[in-house]
Structure 1
């Protein structure tokens, strides 16, 4: 019999990045509950192991995305390196459930293109697509928020309790359709990239809630503060000298802001960094920080100012959106329509309230009991979906990411790519997707583990891998390929005795750590563990408290195999997914080597099997479309 090896590694802590940085240490529980699900689009050939296909089978139609030959070759080469080395194992791609009630409200049909934005609660009211049915002057839209309302704050650079009402209190720079992957103007009504200069025009009629006009200077201040605070846009604007921001982000006139780039940037990538920004940088609140950061004479001085900025809590914001802050207590936040907003005429209800609903269960019950009128995104399992009133419709929105296995490349046995590939051959991704969907068909299995998204629309084969799919491994999407897995393990020196694989007297053991609060991920991990056990690998799920997993185990690399989204969520362009995998600021937790050995797909991209994926990612960011 083989002996278990339970040695854990101890490392010095890494800086807390990505997930923890995005939601804040105290907002982890809030962030995780927003993991939404949606019915995946499947073709008839994609249903093996996926349950009842008859109810969900739809012919996939690829979304047309323009990409030139230089970009496509880089994307395909990165996809090939990923497919051949598996620094992560993508298991499923998700779509998000978004809910709207239709008894007192007029909303687009659930399959309308108007729904396919991030998020419907942001955009539909602005465009007059979510209105009170009878136009009653006392109708109130009721939604939910995770954080205690009176403890919520609205300083976007302070990650603690940046609350849901931000969606209506502030305007985003642009709109983005997640399905068609098209940008349209909003607060930034027009833009033009000419060489190394991006010009942005502020929409006419934009007004702060204190009555002052929104100007190009406000847009400039928003971008500056984001860059000074470490925003990714800085790598293209001031990659080497933070002090250069003052000269590279400027207001040309009242309505025109200019961004001078330090290097050529792919326009789709540049817009993806700008589009999600909310205009929060009201001059009276944040102007002094911009001035002090522009004039800071040293890194220490700049750090001091940033410390003050990121610790500032703003509980009563001056907003830029169609609703303005009224009040907040322990149970709700109330905002009222701001009549001077350009889109106020599209909105026929006077108020939005956000009720304190800190758990999935409380939100499920609020929809079931018709206490709330909808939800931006929420994972609802089938047993709860079946309890929803007929007036609640479930809309389905792409998220461009999903659950995967990330491997700590400094830990045996997964430091060996042959072991990673063997795991991929054993795990039936169809079953993982079905079970993690909890009966909702909300996940679709990844066909080609490449780091590319848009499985649901056929874009992986139809655009990104067009012409080269026969060069890529599927590793058995819907069925275990145990013979191939056994061959790889034997090549790596493992032998099977008494039904268990092992080497040098030690059982081949794969502990999979993850956050216990992600119910869909837990179900998916348990499915994978069961499959590995049946094959003879001693696998076990190690589910930790959410804050302990993200804040301790994950960020300190204290795992052999961990659960994580395998792509940069809500971004469709492959650049962001490969930056996430191969840029150490993200994948440093997994200790992915800077160089990998993989066969060559395109000779014009690289001339040897040793490749530094990070360099290809950098080239992709500057490849023109």
Structure 2
């Protein structure tokens, strides 16, 4: 299951400190999420085995590493979120009528293989089938393709629109695509539009289209807006193929490229240029909000794309795309159509793969008992996601607002068992060893690299009910008749909301609730419809405890995870869980900060600008 598609916000700049007040992110679905996972393979030695290591080429200087460790320390000590597990994703490809790279090939290590391999000429037909059949969550005829609307923003976008760049997650290399070349020189970034890239109505893709895309992403609260003085004047078309982006000061290129790469080129000037011009000329925040609101209300049901396939038709069951012969990569593709069938549940997709009704799925959680029923010609590739489910605490709750309670719960929950039950026999989930907001447990990068030299300072929150009892008693709680109660004799209630459609998350929360009950908490699982949970409950802060992704999926560099967690704004995790502006945590590195009170976003902003000289060489 692709939870990031349920959110309809995988392409958007998630709400931030500078987000347009009163609008929220597109469709009200602001938090990034994801799903998937498959057999991680045997790794009894815990050294990563034969797994691919994402981002192994990423290195951090001494100052950078200290800042990363400081952010991890704040997270580890205060526990605004309890990271429970990290995961690998599984990606499915059928091989009876299709030729694809082997499941262990690094050629599959792109997000997502279903959209990149056909473009590269690496997903080819070997039989008479001229249609690649995939899936989609939204009802096809109700789908729309304005990413700033976000509602029912459906999977066919992956073939309809080209991303700025490709990124191999194992090699940690950016590859030119819609943006064929780039140059970062201090505060200036020059982007070059790919030769021969054409919109499906026959017009050339030009620099102004890229300018529109960047501006609208910034106006919607995209991260780049934090690094420019003024969204309206910081990006311009120099000529038909060249875009100049001016930053307020140098920014680490690892971060800049990571922000640019996944951008999907949608903002054709004849379609979106009017909104850009009006936002540029807006007189104050109120007018900006009004204009942006009009953009988010606009539903595009017949998109003009620039990808290798163009929109043909949609009904209640499928969306049909046909090959666009004028795309620069058209000659690489030897099939004529892509269809996305409406399959809004995990079990429907399991059945479709088992019965040869679809040709693949980008990423989908399938428990081992279902994997065992797949035909031999269905291969499964394991893709590092640098992501996983975490328990989010609402700081406005009378109990969870206390650090001792959050820490006690961390000592009660057995994360390895939660991961094992959630993985359902696939080995795709690992319990987080050091709750710190840093990913890389599958290859031991957390303790061997990111926390190198300081890991012994970090609290692993091992299963220790004795320590949990001490913490609760320090906070004024007592155990009466096997139930933990507060000073008024009222029991500590821990209802945990979870989206009902995410089977692996439901299994995880069931395990958590069972462990909390056995310890003496009054806990229960509250399942909610997916749309209700992510559209209302979570973004509105209507939960005591909830579940969400504790990291910015698909990114290995820790900056993104802390930015995802702490950088606030309408619809963000920080806003939903009512995190304080400052956390009281003694410093790990005195050279990074003075005093106990700290706003993590200050360190995040410093991290973005650290090492710029080294990264730009």
| CA drift at 1:17 | 5.9
Q: 1:9 corresponds to which residue?
A: none
SS of aligned partner of 1:541: strand
User: Kindly tell me: are residues 556 and 158 of structure 1, through their superposed partners in 2, closer, same or farther at Cα, counting changes over 3 Å?
Assistant: closer
1:486 counterpart (469, 481, 485): 469
SS of aligned partner of 2:479: strand
User: Kindly tell me: are residues 610 and 301 of structure 1, through their superposed partners in 2, closer, same or farther at Cα, counting changes over 3 Å?
Assistant: closer
Q: 1:44 corresponds to which residue?
A: 44
Q: Which deviates further from its counterpart, 84-93 or 227-236? A: 227-236
Matched, 1:604 2:607: no
Matched, 1:454 2:437: no
Q: 1:464 corresponds to which residue?
A: 450
| CA drift at 1:125 | 0.4
2:204 counterpart (182, 206, 213): 213
SS of aligned partner of 1:257: strand
| CA drift at 1:614 | 2.1
Q: 1:315 corresponds to which residue?
A: 301
Matched, 1:501 2:484: yes
Q: 2:180 corresponds to which residue?
A: 189
State whether residues 578 and 617 of structure 1, in contact with CA within 8 Å, keep that contact through their aligned partners in structure 2.
yes
Per-residue CA deviations over 1:191-223 (Å, capped at 9, x if unaligned) read 111111111111222122222222222111111
Matched, 1:87 2:80: yes
Structure 2 segments unaligned to the other structure (5+ residues) = 1-13, 17-22
SS of aligned partner of 2:435: coil
Matched, 1:250 2:253: no
Q: Which deviates further from its counterpart, 422-431 or 510-519? A: 510-519
Indicate the RMSD between aligned Cα atoms, in angstroms: 2.4
State whether residues 178 and 399 of structure 1, in contact with CA within 8 Å, keep that contact through their aligned partners in structure 2.
no
User: Kindly tell me: are residues 133 and 27 of structure 1, through their superposed partners in 2, closer, same or farther at Cα, counting changes over 3 Å?
Assistant: farther
State whether residues 26 and 296 of structure 2, in contact with CA within 8 Å, keep that contact through their aligned partners in structure 1.
no
Q: How far, CA to CA, are the matches of 1:224 and 1:315 in structure 2?
A: 23
Q: How far, CA to CA, are the matches of 1:21 and 1:523 in structure 2?
A: 31
State whether residues 396 and 578 of structure 2, in contact with CA within 8 Å, keep that contact through their aligned partners in structure 1.
yes
Q: How far, CA to CA, are the matches of 2:45 and 2:549 in structure 1?
A: 25
1:150 counterpart (131, 138, 141): 141
Task: Give the number of equivalent residue pairs.
Answer: 588
Matched, 1:132 2:125: yes
Q: How far, CA to CA, are the matches of 2:108 and 2:71 in structure 1?
A: 32
Q: How far, CA to CA, are the matches of 2:321 and 2:549 in structure 1?
A: 34
Q: 1:397 corresponds to which residue?
A: 383
Matched, 1:384 2:367: no
Q: 1:350 corresponds to which residue?
A: 336
1:340 counterpart (296, 313, 326): 326
Matched, 1:331 2:342: no
Matched, 1:271 2:288: no
Structure 1 segments unaligned to the other structure (5+ residues) = 1-15, 48-55, 239-243
State whether residues 65 and 463 of structure 1, in contact with CA within 8 Å, keep that contact through their aligned partners in structure 2.
no
State whether residues 125 and 334 of structure 2, in contact with CA within 8 Å, keep that contact through their aligned partners in structure 1.
yes
User: Kindly tell me: are residues 549 and 160 of structure 1, through their superposed partners in 2, closer, same or farther at Cα, counting changes over 3 Å?
Assistant: closer
TM-score, normalising length from structure 2?
0.90
State whether residues 85 and 431 of structure 2, in contact with CA within 8 Å, keep that contact through their aligned partners in structure 1.
yes
Q: How far, CA to CA, are the matches of 2:483 and 2:603 in structure 1?
A: 40
Q: 2:568 corresponds to which residue?
A: 584
| CA drift at 1:61 | 6.1
Per-residue CA deviations over 1:130-152 (Å, capped at 9, x if unaligned) read 00114x4x621111112222222
SS of aligned partner of 2:313: strand
State whether residues 333 and 353 of structure 1, in contact with CA within 8 Å, keep that contact through their aligned partners in structure 2.
yes
1:178 counterpart (137, 159, 169): 169
State whether residues 30 and 539 of structure 2, in contact with CA within 8 Å, keep that contact through their aligned partners in structure 1.
no
| CA drift at 1:380 | 1.5
SS of aligned partner of 1:366: helix
| CA drift at 1:22 | 6.7
Q: 2:19 corresponds to which residue?
A: none
SS of aligned partner of 1:247: coil
2:512 counterpart (522, 528, 531): 528
TM-score, normalising length from structure 1?
0.89
User: Kindly tell me: are residues 41 and 184 of structure 1, through their superposed partners in 2, closer, same or farther at Cα, counting changes over 3 Å?
Assistant: farther
- 5 Å matches for 1:95-174? 95-134=88-127, 136=128, 139-174=130-165
